[in-house]
Amino acid sequence: MSAVIPIHAGSGCSDAPVLKERGQREVFCGLTGIIWLHRKMQDAFFLVVGSRTCAHLIQSAAGVMIFAEPRFATAILDERDLAGLADAQDELDRVVKRLLERRPDIRLLFLVGSCPSEVIKLDLSRAASRLSQQFMPQVRVLNYSGSGIETTFTQGEDACLAALVPVLPVSMQQQAPELLIVGALADVVEDQFSRLFNAMGLKQFAFFPSRSSTALPAIGPQTRFLLAQPFLGDTAKALEARGARRVASPFPLGAEGTTAWMQAAGAAVGLSAATVDQAITPARQRAELALAAHREQLQGKSIFFFPDSQLELPLARFLSRELGMTLTEVGTPYLHRQHLAEELAWLPAGTLLSEGQDVEKQLDRCRAARPDVVVCGLGLANPLEAEGFTTKWSIELVFTPIQGFEQAGDLAGLFTRPLTRRQLLAA
């Protein structure tokens, strides 16, 4: 059962019909989650077991410089491995051993499958268990799938954190509710949230994933977890299976969303709304002031969301309610009604919602709507720009710190800048 904070009297889009499409998709694969996860977990390493194509994707998407010492790599499978002619287990053991000898700072090693096990002919779950027994307690080895066949790109984080939940320590001394913030956040955002929690008088809180694998948060029946990202369905299910309870809330985007999120955090551990409001009011006022200038440029502009990151509904709510934009269509790869219930309630009634994708049909609807801004993946952005549309890359909204009060103005700026660029080019 979830702790619930009522936030809205109307129904919004709570019962709105959803257009469900199943066809050709234009999405990145879950491997791209490594790009922000390897920066967050500072003693973890991500070893992608896949082809040279996967290696090129990670290298290109991350923009790794030649002198960098990243915490990810690729164990490349060639034709002999894929055909089952080579002993892939022995080769994987050799690569892992060499890696750990070269990088003694690694404490947590993820084996990331780039394809289903039926394709790569290697059971990474069994391999991770075997290698973990071999290298523990110095190094823990876990695995998850980042396959683009099975996931969209943000689901890579969900799969990673869900794999980590079973090894979280058990909290044996919880006497009162403790708060767990779930979802990878930029360090600057995490620090800002920590300061606000301390100002609220909230002492027992932790973040997951933590910056160090040796300081994993403990969980138990008194754990209340608050999602910071909307794409963590499997992680939430794994935490609930261990006795933790989800706190229902909108997501912390914009001044309004962050206020409701902070109020939900306080309510979950017994703080009064007045106590929370006193602590967050200065930050909220700064956020509202930062948004005012962007509202002048975005008020009345229309926006169309292609499904890509699962951030689409919270972003649409923020742009509609706080910046006055008109929503022509809000598409999302998967609509988790329970986790997004508060967001749905805050969307304008009559908003066209779509789940999944048939890209040609959605392109036709976008062309017919002629929105002022289109949020889409990299594969669609350039063709749409060539047709005269103003686009925003959805992946940039994942890479950029956008949560919280201090980032509200920056988040709005991600949508005003493409319009400004279009105006300058036209001039």
Give pLDDT tens digits for 364-407: 999 999 999 999 988 899 999 999 999 999 989 998 999 999 99
Provide the residue ranges of all domains of the chain, joining segments of one domain with +.
18-25+287-426, 30-151, 178-279
**Is 29 assigned to a binding site?**
yes
Among 198, 114, 205, 215, smallest CA distance to 164 is for 215
**Is 13 assigned to a binding site?**
no
Q: Which residue has the higher pLDDT, 245 or 35?
A: 245
Structure tokens at 28: 């990145």
Give the model's pLDDT for residue 174.
65
Burial class of residue 33, CB neighbours in 10 A (0-12, 13-18, 19+): buried
Give the model's pLDDT for residue 300.
96
In the 3-class helix/strand/coil scheme, how is 33-93 assigned residue by residue?
HHHHHHHHCCCEEEEEEECHHHHHHHHHHHCCCCCCCCCEEEEECCHHHHCCCCCHHHHHH
Task: Return the axis-axis angle of helices 254-268 and 187-200, rounded to nearest 10°.
Answer: 50
Among 377, 343, 337, smallest CA distance to 357 is for 377
Which CATH code fits 18-25+287-426? 3.40.50.1980
Same fold yes or no, 30-151 and 178-279:
yes
- Count CB atoms within 10 A of the CB of residue 281: 11
Q: How far apart are CA 317 and CA 325, in angstroms?
A: 9
**pLDDT tens string 183-228:** 999 999 999 999 999 999 998 899 999 999 989 999 988 999 999 9
Give the model's pLDDT for residue 121.
62
**Is 366 assigned to a binding site?**
no
- Who contacts 250 (Cβ-Cβ below 8 Å, separation ≥6)? 7, 256, 257, 260, 261, 314, 317, 342, 343, 346
- Count CB atoms within 10 A of the CB of residue 292: 11
For tokens 């869900």, what's the residue?
A: 162
Q: Which CATH architecture best describes the domain 178-279?
A: 3-Layer(aba) Sandwich (3.40)
- Identity of residue 136: M
Among 51, 58, 75, smallest CA distance to 128 is for 75
The domain defined by 30-151 folds into Rossmann fold (3.40.50)
